[in-house]
């Protein structure tokens, strides 16, 4: 199985277009140790020919252009794409807006949990994806689904499981109380398995907390790509960027006793990679102490174009 990181940044990307925080200013200025990143998405393939996207980011067009494996194949139909399936983990703008760039008559299958499919259904702009070309399939929670594109089986299964999280920002309902109207299945993690080799990994780009069921699921995994939005819960407030904590945004932080580094430390996971990294996160400085700390704890920080073979 081949896994390509198309985009490793959180919503807004790195640099974010309206942000002049320390990190964004440094990457914009081309300071050494700061690498631009596009918004959160992976491409996965068992054979290197047919690909599934895990989330469809607003930067999808740029990501496809930067990924030779996703270029239209030469010598066949003039209009074709190796993208045969798209799987969504939530309805956030950074994970669904790229669907609008897939409207050019591409045939693929769209998979998401029920609540996210209803969100797409109720936003008529997504009708640009002709249902004859793009069937939508609901992922049953906690059960593997075989990914099938227009030409057949991709040799991959995906199992979606609910993780602690929050409804998409544009759907928040303050009148609904603390949960803001969050429903079961609004945020899922995915376990992706190559049916031929049995190799498997987890992709959890949005997660508010590591509870017991999630820890049990991740125990002993070969590879986990996990929510790396913030280093500390209050970093956006401390930097004067926003009034929101990570918790309020539905994201666990990397550091601290309640953080993801601590929560995943003793689960026997062979390879741990942070993804969906917000532009405020100090680990984006390759030479900074926070990067050194996460690496010393056994983690990697994803970058665009990162390739992992399992």
- Give the residues lining the site for Zn ion (CB under 5 A): 19, 21, 24, 279
Cα 287 to Cα 293: distance, rounded to the nearest angstrom: 11
Min dist CB 242 to Zn ion, Å, is 10
How far is 68 from 65, CA to CA, in rounded Å?
7
* Nearest distance in Å: CB 38, Mn ion: 12
Q: Which is nearer to Zn ion, 16 or 260 (CB)?
A: 16
Q: Give the shortest CB-305-to-ligand MLT separation in angstroms.
A: 21
Helical (H) or strand (E) element with 296: helix 289-296
Strand order from edge to edge, sheet including 144-149:
144-149, 152-162, 188-194, 200-204, 224-227, 272-275, 299-301
Complex with Mn ion: residue 94 or 285, whichever CB lies closer: 94
Cross-strand pairs, 226: 204, 274
**Residue 1 in contact with residue 156, Cβ under 8 Å?**
yes
The alpha carbon torsion through 295, 300, 287, 304 (nearest 10 deg) reads 180
Report the partner that residue 279 touches, choosing among Zn ion, Mn ion, ligand MLT, none (CB closer than 5 to 8 A by kind). Zn ion
Q: Which does 260 bind (CB under 5 to 8 A by kind): Mn ion, Zn ion, ligand MLT, none?
A: none
Q: Which is nearer to ligand MLT, 133 or 169 (CB)?
A: 169
Q: What are phi and psi of 70, to 5 degrees?
A: -100, 5
User: Which of Zn ion, Mn ion, ligand MLT, none has residue 5 at its interface (CB below 5 to 8 Å by kind)?
Assistant: none
The residue among 11 and 185 lying less far from Mn ion, judged by its C-beta, is 11
Site string for Mn ion, 94-133 (x = CB under 5 A): x---------------------------------------
């Amino acid at each position: 199985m081949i896994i390509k990181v198309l985009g490793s940044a959180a919503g807004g990307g790195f640099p974010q277009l309206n942000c002049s925080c320390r990190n964004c200013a440094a990457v914009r200025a081309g300071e050494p140790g700061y690498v631009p990143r596009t918004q959160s998405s992976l491409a996965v393939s068992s054979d290197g020919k047919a690909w599934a996207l895990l989330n469809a980011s607003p930067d999808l067009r740029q990501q496809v252009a930067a990924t030779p494996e996703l270029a239209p194949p030469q010598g066949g139909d003039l209009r074709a794409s190796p993208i045969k399936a798209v799987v969504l983990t939530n309805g956030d703008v950074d994970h669904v807006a790229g669907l609008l760039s897939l409207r050019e008559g591409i045939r693929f299958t769209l998979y998401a949990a029920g609540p996210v499919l209803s969100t797409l259904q109720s936003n008529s702009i997504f009708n640009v994806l002709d249902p004859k070309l793009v069937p939508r399939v609901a992922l049953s929670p906690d059960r593997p689904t075989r990914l099938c594109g227009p030409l057949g089986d991709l040799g991959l299964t995906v199992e979606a499981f609910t993780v602690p999280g929050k409804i998409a920002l544009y759907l928040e309902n303050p009148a609904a109380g603390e949960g803001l109207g969050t429903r079961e299945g609004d945020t899922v993690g995915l376990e992706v398995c190559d049916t031929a080799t049995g190799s498997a990994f987890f992709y959890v780009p949005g997660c508010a907390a590591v509870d017991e069921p999630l820890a049990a699921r991740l125990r002993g995994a070969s590879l986990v790509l996990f929510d790396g939005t913030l280093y500390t819960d209050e970093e956006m407030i401390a930097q004067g960027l926003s009034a929101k904590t990570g918790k309020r945004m539905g994201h666990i932080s990397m550091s601290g006793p309640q953080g993801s580094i601590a929560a995943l430390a003793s689960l026997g996971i062979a390879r741990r990679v942070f993804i969906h990294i917000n532009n405020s996160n100090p680990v984006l400085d390759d030479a900074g102490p926070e990067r050194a700390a996460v690496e010393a704890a056994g983690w990697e920080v994803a970058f665009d174009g990162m390739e992992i073979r399992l």
